[in-house]
Amino acid sequence: MPSRRRPKTAGARRERVGVWVFGARGGLATTLIAGTRAVAHGLCPPLGLLTETELFAGVPLAKLDDLVFGGHEVRPGTLVDAAQEIHDRNGTIPLPVLHAVRKELTAIDKNIAAGTLVNAGRTIEEVVGRAAGGEHLRAVVARLERDITAFLRKHELTRCVCVNLTSTEPHLAPDKAHKSPAAFTAAIAANRRTAVRPSSLYAYVAARLRLPFIHFTPANAALLPAITALFVQHDTPFMGMDGKTGETLVKSSLAPMFKYRNLRVLTWQGYNILGDRDGAVLAHAENKRAKVETKDGLLPAILGYPLHTHVGIDYVPSLHDLKTAWDFVHFQGFLGCKMSMQFTWQGCDAILAAPVVLDMVRLADLAQRRGEGGPMPHLACFFKKPFGVGEHDLHRQWHALVEYVGRVRLEQRSRRNAT
Amino acid sequence: MPSRRRPKTAGARRERVGVWVFGARGGLATTLIAGTRAVAHGLCPPLGLLTETELFAGVPLAKLDDLVFGGHEVRPGTLVDAAQEIHDRNGTIPLPVLHAVRKELTAIDKNIAAGTLVNAGRTIEEVVGRAAGGEHLRAVVARLERDITAFLRKHELTRCVCVNLTSTEPHLAPDKAHKSPAAFTAAIAANRRTAVRPSSLYAYVAARLRLPFIHFTPANAALLPAITALFVQHDTPFMGMDGKTGETLVKSSLAPMFKYRNLRVLTWQGYNILGDRDGAVLAHAENKRAKVETKDGLLPAILGYPLHTHVGIDYVPSLHDLKTAWDFVHFQGFLGCKMSMQFTWQGCDAILAAPVVLDMVRLADLAQRRGEGGPMPHLACFFKKPFGVGEHDLHRQWHALVEYVGRVRLEQRSRRNAT
Amino acid sequence: MPSRRRPKTAGARRERVGVWVFGARGGLATTLIAGTRAVAHGLCPPLGLLTETELFAGVPLAKLDDLVFGGHEVRPGTLVDAAQEIHDRNGTIPLPVLHAVRKELTAIDKNIAAGTLVNAGRTIEEVVGRAAGGEHLRAVVARLERDITAFLRKHELTRCVCVNLTSTEPHLAPDKAHKSPAAFTAAIAANRRTAVRPSSLYAYVAARLRLPFIHFTPANAALLPAITALFVQHDTPFMGMDGKTGETLVKSSLAPMFKYRNLRVLTWQGYNILGDRDGAVLAHAENKRAKVETKDGLLPAILGYPLHTHVGIDYVPSLHDLKTAWDFVHFQGFLGCKMSMQFTWQGCDAILAAPVVLDMVRLADLAQRRGEGGPMPHLACFFKKPFGVGEHDLHRQWHALVEYVGRVRLEQRSRRNAT
Amino acid sequence: MPSRRRPKTAGARRERVGVWVFGARGGLATTLIAGTRAVAHGLCPPLGLLTETELFAGVPLAKLDDLVFGGHEVRPGTLVDAAQEIHDRNGTIPLPVLHAVRKELTAIDKNIAAGTLVNAGRTIEEVVGRAAGGEHLRAVVARLERDITAFLRKHELTRCVCVNLTSTEPHLAPDKAHKSPAAFTAAIAANRRTAVRPSSLYAYVAARLRLPFIHFTPANAALLPAITALFVQHDTPFMGMDGKTGETLVKSSLAPMFKYRNLRVLTWQGYNILGDRDGAVLAHAENKRAKVETKDGLLPAILGYPLHTHVGIDYVPSLHDLKTAWDFVHFQGFLGCKMSMQFTWQGCDAILAAPVVLDMVRLADLAQRRGEGGPMPHLACFFKKPFGVGEHDLHRQWHALVEYVGRVRLEQRSRRNAT
């Protein structure tokens, strides 16, 4: 992955940053990796990327071209296959991009190791086409760690951000193993497989290796108290969960308006239809539950009162990644008059999510360099269920990010002036 | 208009506040007047009214029941007729409300005097059914002033807010008479009728009488430099223009979302269809122009770049006041991928606007009591083209209001503590 | 129920026709009864009624004013209460109509007897607020028959059409009792309650009494082979099932278009949201199943190939009877290009259904007078699952009706000419 | 253009059919030509093509592979350029198709001659980038004829269908030259340029050469009485005008439904937004007028009464060929209740139109071989303003086509049996 922009010179040592992706050949990961390279090469404008806007001028983020990708994956195939499939189905990775990054994708494939399917649930196993083997949990953890450390060594990386982009897992029931790092470690040692899902192991490994962690899926199994406590102990930044990129994004942008005018929302019905592996996995009741939960809570939080809400997710194979959502809002105003608004959102999920992941990778790396361990509440605007943040109003979340960036920039300047 | 809540006692002198409405029997004014009485009587919950929410707890606003209505009107008929027509067509003034306030409406009718049609344009004249007579401008101004002062005297009012709710007038061409209060007064003296429209005269009279003024229509003829300067000289609050209650409200709530994600909006097409007098007047090209102009400017202001926009307004008699808008947003994200979103808004215009007017009447009265003359930028969130405010992001506008209210409340407290 | 139009004279004996409604105080029945009276009185134009259009000129249908209503009902209350509730919630029965027909509704209430709840299912029992008692099936049948014959006697009626407008029942499992009239009668005698639902008993009674029967609900329990055979034996017209009045109506009108252009429909997703008792009952899985089944079959029938379809029905209390449906159609054309269309339907269910019921009552009465027993395939256009008709294309169904009416008219003429 | 399917053998002489396209390198023509070749090669299924469905089994249509394309064009560039541009903008001509037909397109380019811009109007001239020269009309006609006859000779064609796919021209004012073939010929001889537009000359030349003619655009200048009379005199089939492929298609499919239920349509508002050259041309008032007229007339024709309608067309460059339409239908039913329906149509114009053109080319060729001269009313279902046909109900139009095909098939069989 040679940089065209910053030649490696003796004086200015180039600092490359690892991006370790759990679910590294999924639709989102493939779009993320191919897209980052395309933007780094200047093939596409950096649309969708907030960190490439004026807002971040003067903020010392890792260069896109300095990101080195690797990851874990449970499915067979290559990144090029995955990218080609995306092109064929959605056209969202344009052919010129695919051609330009083909070789790089093949090189990155060498950084991708076998993931784990421990207790992933039947649906994911069916989609993947195989079940978890009998490997002891301790062995799994050790193996996952080895894969990542080998990657860091191979590419001489001192920094690396982990991102969870795996398919939505079924809800994991509470377990005493989740209570503390010690309890969790004991469960691993005891090979208590029902206490974990793949996401738990991935997050645990990231925490153990002190690598910042972005949990982008709705799985409840990753940010268990045991694991977030470990991140905090290790002073390592993390954030999640469930990237906010479509219908929920619109919801959290629109709902405050009703509050501003004291218009009482009586009903907010939302229907999402989508295809692809994501849709297939979510078509299964147990996997859907996790997703719906994170999507459904924010309206009462924004509006301040209970209301009739519904979030449907249905599998429509012909749509592939072109997610379509219809929302119907019934509200009441002056003199009790009922009125309504409806919207249809038609967005490519991976196209919307990939730059958000990339933004957060850079911000997590920045946080670690700045010594900010634990949850990153300034990233709340990117999540349906932001860890530790009760604020769901997109605009207040946004202002929190703007404020954070302002603080960073200020400190940058005073540091520079100090020198 | 007897108060059921606060009996007039010798000790606690009741402070009533006038609300002088230009266009006093139009659909919006009728809904405003009948609705205020209905809410004051406890017949309807105060939905749509921001000033009745928790946000304003502790802010010394005029009581709804203490508002005394009067105004100018060019059309014949009674308030009861107008309310009945609204009930028959839209059902938005429910029958029980109509019955309950019928007598009060008849009483208020006595506070309504003949307005002016000077240079109102052919469309409005046709809708009204007659043209302006030959009355000299100086006589018109004197008459309008007399009407208002008589109203104040009759009801023993020391405070009164003026609101312009007249039909959308055609654009008024710039004129040297608009440059200063003196120039304007000279034009009145010289009977230069083409330099003014009814809105100009109404606003001028409010400024002369030092009454706070809310300009709720899109007419450019009211807040002329000559007139706003007079408000400032007289230390009298005013604000405008063009109430933001429907499609534009949604727009200004939604557009920031695209900015937050660096999604490039390529196109924002908006189509509004509506009936009633409002629709009939706007169906005429010259009257529509004023409206479209105030609706169309905010997207580039929020997004920060030029884009393809369109705002259509078409007359659909069968809809009456049920305004329906369809907006189509075409946007581009990561890897150049084009996506879209569309919304349909179905709202009753007068029902959405009336409580906003009421909120602003109370806030304008508050401002005057607090000695705040000139424009009221904290009311920007209520207008499509807020006077002197470049910010169109609904959320930032809202925060400005919240901040203002917080400041008022703080001062209230310290004043109370001081006592 | 005095007629304003046809004075009762000695010479021209007035022929009145009974309309016996199962579910006589439900939303649909109330709208039907109040609406028929309103139209008969000339208070409302006969919109929605096909039998009042030019198409039926010269066809000897029963006069609206000659229809005499009665029926069975399981819920308490009066027709006036029911009509008032509809006015308050939906406004679809306007106040002037309510006032004008109030007395007639009270009179009709005397024609309404207690229905049956035998094996109606838990959901309906909960909505009604009580369960079926222990009355033997034979006694139930005898009682229902007595109620109807008493009504006929009281009003001196020789003709009467029965209509089933009860709430959607759960699916009734096939049973040997359904195989023949004899088997069914035996099951009644044996008090085998699980072999029937209320709809079965209502239909059975109509068939026994040789009264034409319109089955307007999606319950599979009414048109059992045992019962339809009895109608045929008795040379009595009947038709069903599940009135086509909203989303499915649009579907059956639109789907042929895709066939005409060889555009391949990949997916047709439909989401229905509605409130009221209907919505509450359908919110229950077992009751919904019956409905969804009749809604979902028609697309493959029209298009001629299997496709991905979905029909959702969700309960949204705030909507009351204002049913809203969103359909998304994904289709493929030349060069494999995928395109889409979506529609939103906002219609008042009872307002759409009532005139269709009325049309069919008149047509069923006509059929009986013409000696046409058995199923009425010319009414297929009014049903989601027309009995014995495979054709779901609305336009072909319509042409079948037009042809039938033409035939009737022709025979009328030749009969007249013969005289 | 070698056939892969029917090898040229000595015995079975292959009958090829010319397709002469006016506007041969426009978006629609390019999609038509590239698409026909792609389907002929078996690269894409024949979706969108009615003539490839079971309906036409046994009907002796020209083989797709036997169609030879040529035409007139006023713009510079090549078919390959045009196809590449379509791929880049819309993706509707997939890359594999483009690669597969590239050579054939280059060969067809040799069959494309310079068209004419006589009196085409300023908008088209601006889009094309040049104006008509001073060539005398007689010379233009002679030149156009020479081009076509040379094409026929070169490819040894005895049959050829002409299709007008040029950009929408402004309305042509009535002129005495339009009254008869003789008057028209005289106007040509007199070089009366304001009496014609390019479409007039193209249609005239087709009529003179006795070649069947499909007028697919909304220009009123082609099927002038003078010209259709000439087609009739020459016993040559023709049909038009304005292909029905999007919003109007849906309209004509949906509107009958309201009639079937006696639901009174109060308002039908339609808004079309589209990009590309088509959109740019239609953005000009004079060109739009022609289009709107053909789109707007059909509702009263179907419904049988006047109603409030509106058809908007706006230019949205970012959409390119992805035409989007929003229609709002306001209707009234039982008891005067107002309800509404809205739909959004998102279709690629050229993708929808190309197979319709191809269907009609084959049917026009069939008609000529069957000796059917003059208008082809059985093609009414394909046009917004079918020549000489008052029926706009899509379903009745469709049945007319089905009936025609049935008649042809029957005659085929009896002919075969006779042999």
C-D CB pairs within 8 A amount to 167
pLDDT of residue C51: 97
Interchain pair B317, D308: CB under 8 A: yes
Chain C neighbors (3+ CB pairs < 8 Å): A, B, D
Chain B neighbors (3+ CB pairs < 8 Å): A, C, D
For tokens 């590419």, name the residue.
Answer: A155
Interchain pair A318, C266: CB under 8 A: yes
Interchain pair A342, B343: CB under 8 A: yes
Q: Scanning every residue of chain C, which has its alpha carbon at the shortest distance from the alpha carbon of D28?
A: C334
pLDDT digits (tens, 9 = 90+) for D220-240: 999 999 999 999 999 999 999
| Shortest distance, CA A331 to any CA of chain C (angstroms) | 9
The tokens describing C268, both together, are: 């047709």
Check whether A14 has a pLDDT greater than 80: no
- Chain C partners of A267 at a C-beta cutoff of 8 Å? 316-319
pLDDT digits (tens, 9 = 90+) for C237-273: 999 999 999 999 999 999 999 999 999 999 999 999 9
- Average pLDDT of the residues of chain A: 92
| Shortest distance, CA B107 to any CA of chain C (angstroms) | 27
What's the whole-number mean pLDDT along residues A123-133? Answer: 76
- Average pLDDT of the residues of chain C: 92
Q: Name every residue whose Cβ is closer than 8 Å to that of residue C308 and which is 6 or more positions away in sequence.
A: A316, A317, A318, C266, C267, C268
- Chain B partners of A94 at a C-beta cutoff of 8 Å? 335-336
pLDDT of residue D42: 96
- Chain B partners of A37 at a C-beta cutoff of 8 Å? none
For tokens 């999640």, name the residue.
Answer: A240
Interchain pair C333, D345: CB under 8 A: no
Q: Which of D47, D261, D398 sits opposite C262 (nearest CB)?
A: D47
Check whether D6 has a pLDDT greater than 60: no
Q: Scanning every residue of chain A, which has its alpha carbon at the shortest distance from the alpha carbon of B44?
A: A335
pLDDT band at C128, cuts 50/70/90? confident
Between CA A176 and CA B216 the distance in angstroms is 61
pLDDT digits (tens, 9 = 90+) for C283-313: 776 667 766 666 667 899 999 999 999 999 9
What's the whole-number mean pLDDT along residues B389-412? Answer: 94
Between CA D313 and CA D284 the distance in angstroms is 10
pLDDT of residue B1: 37
pLDDT of residue D129: 75
Between CA A365 and CA D295 the distance in angstroms is 58
- Chain B partners of A53 at a C-beta cutoff of 8 Å? 262
Residue D79's nearest CA partner among D20, D38, D26 is: D26
Interchain pair C91, B95: CB under 8 A: no
H or E segment at B21? strand B17-22
- CA-CA distances (angstroms) from residue A289 to A283, C24, C274? 10, 41, 24
Q: What is the ipTM of this complex?
A: 0.93
DSSP single-letter state for residue C48 = T
Q: Scanning every residue of chain D, which has its alpha carbon at the shortest distance from the alpha carbon of A346?
A: D346
- Chain B partners of A352 at a C-beta cutoff of 8 Å? 261, 263, 333-334, 339
pLDDT of residue A288: 72
The tokens describing C302, both together, are: 């029209």
CB count, 10 Å around CB of D110? 10
pLDDT of residue A134: 85
Between CA B125 and CA C139 the distance in angstroms is 75
Select the more confidently predicted residue: A289 or B226. B226
pLDDT of residue C71: 98
Check whether B163 has a pLDDT greater than 90: yes
Q: Scanning every residue of chain C, which has its alpha carbon at the shortest distance from the alpha carbon of B90?
A: C91
Residue A348's nearest CA partner among A110, A152, A86 is: A86
| DSSP per position, A206-270 | HHHTT--EEE-S--TTSS-HHHHHHHHHTT-EEEESSB--SHHHHHHHHHHHHHHTTPEEEEEEE
- Chain A partners of B263 at a C-beta cutoff of 8 Å? 47-48, 352
pLDDT digits (tens, 9 = 90+) for D16-51: 999 999 999 999 999 999 999 999 999 999 999 999
What's the whole-number mean pLDDT along residues A27-43? Answer: 97
pLDDT digits (tens, 9 = 90+) for B259-302: 999 999 999 999 999 988 777 777 776 667 766 666 667 899 99
Interchain pair B333, A343: CB under 8 A: no
What's the whole-number mean pLDDT along residues C335-352? Answer: 96
pLDDT of residue A290: 64
- Chain D partners of A95 at a C-beta cutoff of 8 Å? 95
pLDDT of residue D13: 55
Q: Residues of C near A (CB-CB distance < 8 A)?
A: 266-267, 269, 271, 273, 308, 310, 312, 314, 316-319, 324, 326, 328, 330, 332, 338, 340, 342, 344
Interchain pair A334, B347: CB under 8 A: no
Interchain pair B326, D273: CB under 8 A: no
Q: Name every residue whose Cβ is closer than 8 Å to that of residue A219 and which is 6 or more positions away in sequence.
A: A164, A166, A168, A169, A172, A197, A199, A241, A290
Sheet with C308-315: list strands edge to edge: C308-315, C264-274, C322-332, C338-348, D338-348, D322-332, D264-274, D308-315
Helix, coil or strand: residue B321 = coil
- Dihedral sign, CA of C279, C281, C285, C291? negative
- Worst-scoring range by mean pLDDT, C16-30, C233-247, D153-167, D286-300? D286-300
Q: Are C156 and C1 in contact (CB under 8 A)?
A: no
- Chain A partners of D95 at a C-beta cutoff of 8 Å? 95
Interchain pair D337, C344: CB under 8 A: no
CB count, 10 Å around CB of A130? 11
The tokens describing B379, both together, are: 């009311």
Instruction: Give C211's strand partners.
Output: none
Instruction: Give D374's strand partners.
Output: D237
CB count, 10 Å around CB of D139? 12
Q: Are B139 and B114 in contact (CB under 8 A)?
A: no
Check whether D376 has a pLDDT greater than 70: yes
- CA-CA distances (angstroms) from residue A180 to A166, A175, A214, A232, B81? 24, 11, 20, 12, 72
Residue C177: how many CA atoms within 13 Å on its side-chain side? 22
Interchain pair B273, D273: CB under 8 A: no
Check whether A173 has a pLDDT greater than 70: yes
pLDDT digits (tens, 9 = 90+) for B299-357: 999 999 999 999 999 999 999 989 999 999 999 999 999 999 999 999 999 999 999 99
pLDDT digits (tens, 9 = 90+) for C2-26: 434 444 444 445 689 999 999 999 9
Q: Scanning every residue of chain B, which has its alpha carbon at the shortest distance from the alpha carbon of A252?
A: B257
Q: Are C304 and C369 in contact (CB under 8 A)?
A: no
DSSP single-letter state for residue D11 = S
Helix, coil or strand: residue C247 = helix
Q: Which of B269, B316, B338 sits opposite D308 (nearest CB)?
A: B316
B-C CB pairs within 8 A amount to 3
Give burial (CB, 10 Å; 0-12/13-18/19+) of C13: exposed
Q: Testing the interface with B: which of A263, A337, A351, A360 to mutate, by most B Cβ within 10 A?
A: A337
- Please, what is the Cα angle at B53 between B47 and B57, to 5 degrees? 155
- Chain C partners of B344 at a C-beta cutoff of 8 Å? 344
Check whether C147 has a pLDDT greater than 70: yes
Between CA A314 and CA A316 the distance in angstroms is 6
Give burial (CB, 10 Å; 0-12/13-18/19+) of C321: buried
Check whether A281 has a pLDDT greater than 80: no
- Chain D partners of A91 at a C-beta cutoff of 8 Å? 91
pLDDT of residue D7: 41
Between CA A136 and CA D17 the distance in angstroms is 72
Helix, coil or strand: residue D198 = helix
Q: Which of A93, A262, A339 sits opposite B335 (nearest CB)?
A: A93
| DSSP per position, C338-407 | EEEEEEEEEEEHHHHHHHHHHHHHHHHHHHHHTT--EE-GGGGGGBSS-TT-----HHHHHHHHHHHHHH
- Chain B partners of C320 at a C-beta cutoff of 8 Å? none
Interchain pair B91, C91: CB under 8 A: yes
Helix, coil or strand: residue B331 = strand
What's the whole-number mean pLDDT along residues C319-327? Answer: 94
Check whether B4 has a pLDDT greater than 90: no
Q: Which of B47, B93, B249 sits opposite A264 (nearest CB)?
A: B47
pLDDT digits (tens, 9 = 90+) for A349-379: 999 999 999 999 999 999 999 999 999 999 9
pLDDT of residue B2: 40
Interchain pair D95, A91: CB under 8 A: no
- Chain B partners of A249 at a C-beta cutoff of 8 Å? 257, 261
Check whether B32 has a pLDDT greater than 80: yes
Between CA C344 and CA D343 the distance in angstroms is 6
pLDDT band at A160, cuts 50/70/90? very high
Between CA D404 and CA D389 the distance in angstroms is 15
Could you tell me the pTM of the whole model? 0.93
| Shortest distance, CA C256 to any CA of chain A (angstroms) | 20
Question: Residues, chain D, total?
Answer: 419
pLDDT band at D156, cuts 50/70/90? very high
What's the whole-number mean pLDDT along residues A387-399? Answer: 94
Q: Encode D39-65: b = buried (16+ Cβ within 10 Å), e = exposed.
A: bbbebbebbbbbbbbebbeebebbebb
Chain A neighbors (3+ CB pairs < 8 Å): B, C, D
